[in-house]
């Protein structure tokens, strides 16, 4: 087991990619706090229609220890309270995964300023606050890890201005945080997923989904587990000398010039 008894927080882990990360961490022997606004998993229009059990239930089925802590990452008081609950329950913190994210479709003329603020408050401000409040505890760990979930949209347009800006900012933020906490032997990296089959894709048309599939060199769309295994690698001892990087995990979709 690569993460035996490591204590992790995964935000947004009731559904989708966060759930995939939490389950792969559980398979590797970690203890996991699920920090999400709701415990019930999202069921998508195209993907994950049949997901009904909670992430904690599945973690326990894998023989690991999990707790759900209701948390809105756009609220600093809730993040602070969540981290205190994790420390009280598990006695420390080794790994923070900032995964919670939302997408509101629309270009600059279609999304409102309030929608811009909402996307940035979850996808960027929430990442900063969780990172800031977790670092004092990660400093006490011998295995400190911060893993931020960005996106292929950090590097290109087409997902709307707010979402892309937040994800691009995370790619830079991991470098800054890596410099800050390297002396504490905490590593900080981002994973940039391509199309992963989750409920966040509900805004797409079946034709757009088909087109994403056709453009993928590996001829399938991604699954939450694909991101989960990349996160296990960054969290493991194998990645102890890797920091300040962003890893594209997109089945090769952005390989073509």
Ligand X SMILES: NC(=O)c1ccc[n+]([C@@H]2O[C@H](COP(=O)([O-])OP(=O)(O)OC[C@H]3O[C@@H](n4cnc5c(N)ncnc54)[C@H](O)[C@@H]3O)[C@@H](O)[C@H]2O)c1
Binders of ligand X among 116-175, rule CB under 6 A? Answer: 122, 149, 151
Q: Counting contacts by CB under 6 A, is residue 189 touching ligand X?
A: no
Least distance (Å) from ligand X to the CB of residue 107? Answer: 18
18 lies in the binding site for ligand X (CB under 6 A): yes
Taking the least distance from each CB to ligand X, the nearer of 129 and 149 is 149
| Least spacing, CB of residue 69 vs ligand X, in Å | 10
Closest CB to ligand X among 187 and 198? Answer: 198
Determine which residue in the list 5, 38, 107, 211 makes contact with ligand X, applying CB under 6 A. Answer: 38
Residues of this chain, 89-118, that bind ligand X according to CB under 6 A? 99-102
Considering beta carbons, is residue 143 or 198 the nearer one to ligand X? 198
Q: Is 137 among the residues known to form the active site? A: no
Q: Which residues have CB under 8 Å from 52's CB, separation 6+?
A: 41, 43
Mask: binding to ligand X, 192-211, rule CB under 6 A, as x and -? -x-xx-xxx-----------
In the bound state with ligand X, the residue whose beta carbon lies nearer, of 143 and 165, is: 165
Residue list 53-92, contact with ligand X (CB under 6 A): 71-74
Binding site for ligand X (CB under 6 A): 11-12, 14-18, 36-38, 42, 71-74, 99-102, 122, 149, 151, 193, 195-196, 198-200
Give catalytic residues, as residue numbers. Answer: 163
């Amino acid at each position: 087991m690569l993460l035996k008894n490591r204590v992790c927080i995964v935000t947004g882990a009731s559904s989708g990619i966060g759930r995939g990360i939490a389950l792969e961490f559980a398979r590797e022997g970690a203890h996991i706090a699920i920090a999400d606004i709701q415990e019930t998993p999202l069921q998508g229009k195209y993907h994950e229609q049949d997901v009904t059990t909670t992430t904690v239930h599945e973690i326990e089925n894998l023989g690991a220890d999990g707790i759900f802590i209701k948390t809105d990452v756009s609220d600093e008081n809730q993040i602070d309270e969540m981290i205190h609950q994790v420390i009280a329950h598990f006695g420390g913190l080794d790994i923070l995964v900032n995964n919670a994210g939302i997408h509101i479709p629309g270009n600059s003329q279609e999304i409102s300023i309030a929608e811009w603020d909402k996307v940035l408050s979850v996808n960027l401000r929430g990442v900063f606050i969780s990172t800031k409040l977790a670092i004092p505890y990660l400093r006490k760990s011998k295995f400190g890890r911060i893993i931020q979930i960005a996106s292929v949209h950090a590097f290109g347009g087409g997902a709307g201005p707010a979402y892309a800006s937040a994800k691009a900012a995370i790619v830079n933020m991991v470098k800054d945080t890596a410099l800050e906490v390297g002396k504490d032997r905490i590593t900080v990296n981002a994973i940039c997923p391509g199309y992963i089959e989750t409920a966040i894709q509900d805004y797409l048309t079946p034709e757009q989904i088909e087109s994403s599939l056709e453009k993928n060199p590996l001829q399938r769309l991604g699954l939450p587990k694909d991101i989960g295994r990349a996160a296990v690698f960054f969290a493991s001892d194998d990645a102890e000398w890797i920091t300040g990087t962003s890893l594209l995990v997109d089945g090769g979709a952005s390989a073509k010039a």
